[in-house]
Amino acid sequence: MRLIAPLVVGLVVVAMASEAFARSRCGGRNRVRGIDVSKWQGAVDWKRVARAGVRFAFIRVSDGTNPTDPTFATNWQKARAARITRGAYQYFRPDQDPIEQADRLIAQMGPLRRGDLPPVLDLETSGGKTKRQVVARVRKWIKRVKSATGVDPIIYTNAKSWIEIAGNNRSWRRSPLWVAHFGVRCPMTPTAWRRWTFHQHSETGQVGGIRGAVDLNDFNGTRAQLRRLTVKSERKARARYRAWKRKRARERRRARR
C-alpha cells in the first residue's frame, strides 16, 4: 500500500508534463471532410463514398515492413477514379529498419500523380526505442520519402504519443500535422506545431459505401487550400521515382557483394 501514493504522484507529474507540451487548438471556419481506410473496412464502394461528400482519403500501405495491406492497390486506384483526393499512409515501427519501411511505401505508391496528397508517417509506438532513437529513425524515413517524392511527408500522431515517444521534437514543425483526438472539435495538439492540418476526430464514423465503422477526418481549410497541398508536377514526381529506383538497385547490388 505504501507504493500507491508515490505511483499516483508520479503519474500526475507525467500527465502535467504532457499537458505542458500540448494545447487545445481550434481550426478555421472552413473544413473539408475525409476518411482513412485499411483492410478493416473491407471492400469500399468509392463512388458511393464520393457521393456521400467525402473529398479526401488516406489509405494504408502497411504496418511497418509487414506484408502490404491487401486492399491498398484497389483502394489506391479506385479512390482516384472516384475523384477523391488520395494519400497513402504507413504505420511506422521504430524497431524496424526505417529505410526498408520507406521503400515499401514508395514502391507500393509508385510515382505520385498530380492531385495526390503527400505520404504519411503514422507514429503511435516507440517499439522500445528511446526518444532520440525514435527521432533519428523518423528522420531517416522522412528523408528517404521526401527524396523519392519531392514533397514533405505528413506526420500523423496524437499529443500524448508525440510528447512521450518523440520528446515533442520540433524538427518537422513546418510539415503538415495530422492529429488524432476523438470526440472534440478543437484537438489537443503538440506544441511542436502551431496548427494542425488534418484532424482525425472519430473512429466510429458511418459513410455510404463502407460497411461498418470508418475513421473520420477534417482538413483545416477549403477545398482550394487542400488542392494546394497536393502534388503539382507528375513529370517531376516520375523523375524522382526513377531516381529512387536506381538508387535502391545500387544499394541492393552493394549489399550482395
Strands 85-91 and 56-63: parallel
Reply yes or no on whether 122 is catalytic. yes
Return the sign of the alpha-carbon dihedral for residues 140, 141, 146, 149.
positive
Give the DSSP per-residue string, 149-208. Answer: HSSPPEEEE-HHHHHHHHTT--TTTTS-EEEE-TT-SS-EEETTSSS-SEEEEEEEE--T
Query: Domain boundaries in the chain?
Result: 21-256
CA distance 235 to 232: 9
Q: Is 122 helix (H, G, I), strand (E, B) or coil?
A: strand
Q: What angle do CA 129, 160, 6 make, to 5 degrees?
A: 85
Pinpoint the alpha helices (H) of 21-130. 46-51, 72-81, 98-109
CA distance 213 to 254: 46
What is the pLDDT, as a whole number, of residue 257? 85
What is the pLDDT, as a whole number, of residue 5? 42
What is the pLDDT, as a whole number, of residue 19? 62
Q: Is 93 helix (H, G, I), strand (E, B) or coil?
A: coil
Reply yes or no on whether 36 is catalytic. yes
| Burial class of residue 207, CB neighbours in 10 A (0-12, 13-18, 19+) | buried
What is the pLDDT, as a whole number, of residue 140? 98
Residues forming a β-bridge with 59: 37, 88
Rounded CA Rg of the chain: 19
Contacts of 130 (CB under 8 A, 6+ apart): none
pLDDT in tens, 2-54: 344 433 433 333 444 456 899 999 999 999 999 999 999 999 999 999 999 99
What is the pLDDT, as a whole number, of residue 18? 57
pTM: 0.92
Annotated catalytic residue, options 36, 103, 116, 218: 36
Q: Which residues of the chain have pLDDT under 70?
A: 1-19
pLDDT in tens, 214-230: 999 999 999 999 999 99
CA distance 61 to 74: 11
Annotated catalytic residue, options 69, 103, 116, 122: 122
Reply yes or no on whether 69 is catalytic. no
Annotated catalytic residue, options 45, 124, 152, 234: 124
CA distance 61 to 122: 11
| Burial class of residue 204, CB neighbours in 10 A (0-12, 13-18, 19+) | exposed
Topology adopted by domain 21-256: TIM Barrel (3.20.20)
What is the pLDDT, as a whole number, of residue 6? 39
* Residue-averaged pLDDT of the chain: 93
